[in-house]
C-alpha cells in the first residue's frame, strides 16, 4: 500500500468496538468472477482473516461488486450505499474496466476524486484497490496511465491504495508460472488462489495500519 498515517474510523472500531462493518465495492474482482464459490472471493477471505486477527470483534464485509462496472456506475451505487447505512471502511476497487473499455482518463481522475470526497464527507475510512496486472492487456501504456491516476489522486488526498498492479507485475516477472496459477481460465480474472493471496496481503496491511502508533507501508501481493 501507499503509506498513510492511519485509517481513523477503522482504527477506532478495532480498538473500541463494538463491531466492524466494511463495504467492498467495485467490479468483477470484488464480486469474485473466477472464484469457485462465494466464500473464495477476496471479501469473504478477508473477513475470515480479519476475524482470526480480531477474534473478539464482530466483523461484517458487504460484497457490493458487480462485474463489468465502471467508475461512474460505481459512484452512483456508492452514494446510495453510504446513505443507506453506516460503514467503518470502504474498499473501492476501481479502474480496470475504465481503462480497457475506452474511458476518458481526465474524467476518470475527476470521478476518483469525487468518490474520495464522498466517502470522506460521510466520515468513513477509505482504501482504494487498483487494477490487476495481466500480461495480455491491450494498450499497456494507457492501462498504466489509469493505474498512475489512481495512485496520484489518492496520494494527494492521503488515501491508501492496495497497489495490486505493481505487486502482480513483480510477481509475474519473478515467477510467471506461479503467477499464472493464480488466474482463472480466462487469463484475466483471479482464481481462488489469487483471491486468497490478495486477501492475505490486504489483511496484513490493514492489521498493520490499525496497530497503535504505527504507520505502515505494505504491498498487496508477492
**Pairwise CA distance, residues 61 & 90, whole Å:** 10
Residues 126-163: tens digit of each pLDDT: 999 999 998 888 899 999 999 999 999 999 999 999 99
- Given a cut of 70, whether residue 96 has pLDDT beyond it is yes
Q: What pLDDT band is residue 212 in, cutting at 50, 70 and 90?
A: low
Q: What pLDDT band is residue 42 in, cutting at 50, 70 and 90?
A: very high
Residues 6+ positions from 57 with CB-CB distance below 8 Å? 13, 14, 17, 19, 20
- Given a cut of 90, whether residue 216 has pLDDT beyond it is no
Residues 6+ positions from 138 with CB-CB distance below 8 Å? 100
Q: Is residue 95 classed as helix, strand or coil in its secondary structure?
A: coil
Answer yes or no: are the C-beta atoms of 121 and 85 closer than 8 Å: no
Mean pLDDT score across all residues of the chain: 91
CATH 3.40.50.1110 given to domain 8-210 = yes
| Residue 136 confidence (pLDDT) | 86
pTM of the model: 0.91
Q: What pLDDT band is residue 5 in, cutting at 50, 70 and 90?
A: very low
| Residue 211 confidence (pLDDT) | 76
**Pairwise CA distance, residues 97 & 155, whole Å:** 22
Amino acid at each position: 500500500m501507499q503509506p498513510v498515517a492511519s485509517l481513523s474510523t477503522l482504527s477506532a472500531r478495532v480498538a473500541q468496538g463494538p463491531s466492524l462493518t466494511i463495504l467492498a465495492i467495485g467490479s468483477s474482482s470484488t464480486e469474485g468472477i473466477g472464484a469457485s464459490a462465494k466464500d473464495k472471493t477476496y471479501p469473504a477471505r478477508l473477513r475470515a482473516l480479519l476475524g482470526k486477527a480480531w477474534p473478539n470483534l464482530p466483523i461484517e464485509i458487504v460484497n457490493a461488486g458487480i462485474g463489468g462496472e465502471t467508475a461512474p456506475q460505481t459512484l452512483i451505487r456508492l452514494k446510495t450505499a453510504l446513505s443507506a447505512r453506516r460503514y467503518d471502511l470502504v474498499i473501492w476497487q476501481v479502474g480496470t474496466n475504465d481503462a480497457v473499455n475506452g474511458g476518458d482518463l481526465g474524467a476518470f481522475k475527476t470521478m476518483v476524486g469525487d468518490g474520495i470526497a464522498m466517502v470522506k464527507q460521510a466520515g468513513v475510512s477509505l482504501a482504494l484497490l487498483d487494477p490487476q496486472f495481466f500480461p495480455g492487456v491491450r494498450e499497456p501504456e494507457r492501462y498504466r496511465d489509469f493505474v498512475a491516476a489512481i495512485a496520484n489522486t489518492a496520494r494527494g488526498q492521503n488515501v491508501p491504495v492496495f497497489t495490486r498492479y505493481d505487486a502482480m507485475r513483480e510477481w509475474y516477472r519473478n515467477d510467471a508460472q506461479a503467477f499464472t496459477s493464480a488466474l482463472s481460465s480466462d487469463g484475466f480474472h483471479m482464481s481462488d488462489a489469487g483471491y486468497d493471496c490478495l486477501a492475505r496481503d490486504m489483511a496484513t496491511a490493514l492489521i498493520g495500519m490499525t496497530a497503535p502508533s504505527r504507520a505502515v507501508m505494505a504491498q498487496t501481493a508477492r
